[in-house]
Amino acid sequence: MKIVIGSDHAGFDLKEALKESFEGMVDIGTYSEDPVDYPDFAARVARAISSGEFKRGILICGSGVGMSIVANKFPGVRAALCTDTDVARMSRMHNDANILVLAGRRTDVETAVAIVRVWSNTEFEGGRHKRRLDKINNIEGEDK
């Protein structure tokens, strides 16, 4: 499965390290440590997920909070800020998170690689969790 990945300048180094550790990541920027605005890159990845172009994505900014806020504005996106492998596992099993968000200034490379490995290899459990996701989808549709 190809994963689309994006970061701002604060997540650039971690993004580059993840690309070295995992094949098949499609990088949509940023491409340097020069200051940029995180909403631009969060929107690129979230739009790719929301449109169905990609099934999963990764976003990285300094704290992970800004990227999470922006990404979750897009229909069908379930972005989860994951700080460890347990949170990553649960974000997939219970929430079917399709965007993993990492804190570039708070997550070392070894931890990030472990989080991505668990997140990308964990399947959604369905069952009672599907019912809850359906409720989220209904909430998204209320504003239309």
Task: Indicate which residues carry an active-site annotation.
Answer: 61, 94
Q: Which of 99, 55, 57, 63 is nearest to 83 (CA)?
A: 63
Hey, how many other C-beta atoms are within 10 angstroms of the C-beta on 95?
17
CA distances from 96 to 15, 35, 84, 107 (A): 22, 32, 17, 22
Pairing of strands 79-81, 3-7: unpaired
